[in-house]
């Protein structure tokens, strides 16, 4: 791939782009990219409220599009983009960056070995970067939801959520989401802009294996545990025996590919476009993430009442 052009409304950002890419065309508005016949793929890394308009213009101009998460913040806009991509036979990728990290790629590779998924528990807190044009759900929850939905590979049945607005602006700065799937697993996601510490920890419980993914760990981000074999436990055994059984089982910290996520993602996208590789993060996944977050907002307005999701 070759970088052809960069557009940003801000002069300082354009100057930085030119310093990093002296051979690229650098412009203020997106038209220089969208109207350029030599451009195959347009990458949209602007605030979420602008994604729909920019992605629609690029798709109408016959470009493939990679848009930052969240795809959009209104499901109706997402359905329209999905239709445009389908009609123009162009790919619409969503940058759910974590799916391209070595750790999450390993988790997804383990999916079948985990056995029946029982639960998914994630906490993601940032060190207080309040953003005026979005809230903590649109900012942080796409990361966890994209991992969860890629792992479960079935549409969720409902979401219930509670949230609070503590910071500047009238938007959620923390939220707890409970996502239910018909027949399991039960998923819980905590996102928070108000934490004194950055935490990015996920525990996945499967009937055969469980894993802990701690993205803050410099090494050994992922640990895989053999699950206690509850089916083999004799209920007549005493409690001590059962506790010992619970601890039996190997723990491994698999070796993880260190390739930078965005580098891996761009190579993957080139393979999708040139070799027909299946997209890891397509518009269907981006849309599902948007639907869950939209339903979570409706649940927050209903003080946590579960909101059903269409299959
Ligand atoms: N995947 C990730 O890990 C990750 C991390 C951070 C941000 N993001 C996403 O990236 C997007 C941008 O976030 P950010 O923090 O970089 O925002 P930002 O505000 O720092 O930068 C956005 C840039 O877009 C430019 N812009 C806005 N409208 C434009 C338009 N119509 N044409 C040209 N340029 C325009 C602005 O001038 C600004 O320079 C968001 O969707 C955010 O969710 C993703």
12 lines ligand 1 (CB under 6 A): no
Tokens read off for 107: 């988790």
| Region 134-154 average pLDDT | 96
pLDDT in tens, 36-87: 999 999 999 999 999 999 999 999 999 999 999 999 999 999 999 999 999 9
Percent of all residues in the chain with a pLDDT value above 90, rounded to a whole number: 83
- The whole-number pLDDT of residue 122 equals 98
How does DSSP assign the chain, residue by residue?
----EEE-SSHHHHHHHHHH-TTSEEESSTHHHHT-TT--EEEE-S-GGGHHHHHHHHHHTT-EEEEESSS-SSHHHHHHHHHHHHHHT--EEEE-GGGGSHHHHHHHHTGGGG-SEEEEEEEEEEE----TTS-HHHHHHHHHHHHHHHHH-S--SEEEEEEE--SSSSS-SEEEEEEE-TT--EEEEEEESEEEEEEEEEEEEESSEEEEEETT-SS--EEEEEPP-GGG--TTS-HHHHHHHHH-S-EE--------HHHHHHHHHHHHHHH-PPPSSBHHHHHHHHHHHHHHHHHHHTTT--EE---
**Average pLDDT value over all residues in the chain:** 92
Residue nearest to atom 28 of ligand 1 (CA): 46
User: Which pLDDT score, from 0 to 100, does residue 265 have?
Assistant: 98
Instruction: Provide the pLDDT for residue 219.
Output: 87
For residue 70, say if its preceding peptide bond is cis, omega within 30 degrees of 0.
yes
Tens digit of each residue's pLDDT (9 = 90 or more) over 17-34: 999 999 999 999 999 899
Average pLDDT over residues 196-222: 95
Q: What pLDDT score does 243 carry? A: 54
Decide whether any atom of ligand 1 lies within 6 Å of the 290 Cβ.
no
Question: Cα(29)–Cα(152) distance, rounded to whole angstroms?
Answer: 40
Q: In terms of residues, how long is the chain? A: 311
Paired residues of 25 in beta bridges: 5
Q: Is 94 in the pocket of ligand 1 (CB under 6 A)?
A: no
Strand partners, 212: 203, 223
CA 85 – ligand 1 centroid, Å? 22
pLDDT for position 229: 58
Quote the pLDDT of residue 290. 98
Q: Using a 6 Å cutoff on CB, does residue 262 contact ligand 1?
A: no
Q: Judge if the beta carbon of residue 97 lies within 6 A of ligand 1.
A: yes
Pocket perturbation via mutation, ligand 1, pick of 42, 46, 97, 262 by most ligand atoms within 8 A of CB: 46
- Measured in angstroms, how far is the CA atom of residue 263 from the centroid of ligand 1? 19
| Distances, alpha carbon 215 to alpha carbons 144, 164, 193, in Å | 12, 25, 17
């Amino acid at each position: 791939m070759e970088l052809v052009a960069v557009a940003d409304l801000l002069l300082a950002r354009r100057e930085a782009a030119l310093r990093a890419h002296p051979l690229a065309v650098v412009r203020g508005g997106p038209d220089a990219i969208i109207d350029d016949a030599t451009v195959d793929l347009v990458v949209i890394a602007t605030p979420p409220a602008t994604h729909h308009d920019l992605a629609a213009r690029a798709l109408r101009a016959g470009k493939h599009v990679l848009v930052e998460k969240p795809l959009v913040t209104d499901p109706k806009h997402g359905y329209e983009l999905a239709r445009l991509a389908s009609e123009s036979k162009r790919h619409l990728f969503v940058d759910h960056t974590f799916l391209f990290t070595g750790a999450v790629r390993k988790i997804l590779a383990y999916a079948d070995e985990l056995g029946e998924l029982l639960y998914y528990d994630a906490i993601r807190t940032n060190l207080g970067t309040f953003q005026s044009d979005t809230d903590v759900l649109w900012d942080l929850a796409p990361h966890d939801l994209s991992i969860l939905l890629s792992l479960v590979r079935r549409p969720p049945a409902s979401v219930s959520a509670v949230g609070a607005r503590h910071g500047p602006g009238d938007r959620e700065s923390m939220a707890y989401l409970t996502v239910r799937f018909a027949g399991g697993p039960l998923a819980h996601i905590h996102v928070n802009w108000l934490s004194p510490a950055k935490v990015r920890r996920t525990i996945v419980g499967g009937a055969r294996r469980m894993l802990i993914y701690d993205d803050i760990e410099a090494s050994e981000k992922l640990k895989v545990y053999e699950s206690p074999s509850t089916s083999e436990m004799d209920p007549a055994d005493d409690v001590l025996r059962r506790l010992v059984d619970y601890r039996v089982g190997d723990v491994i910290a698999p070796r993880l590919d260190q390739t930078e996520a965005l580098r891996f993602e761009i190579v993957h996208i080139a393979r999708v476009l040139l070799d027909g590789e299946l997209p890891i993060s397509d518009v269907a996944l981006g849309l599902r993430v948007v639907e869950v977050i939209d339903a979570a907002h409706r649940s927050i307005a209903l003080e946590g009442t579960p909101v059903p999701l269409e299959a």
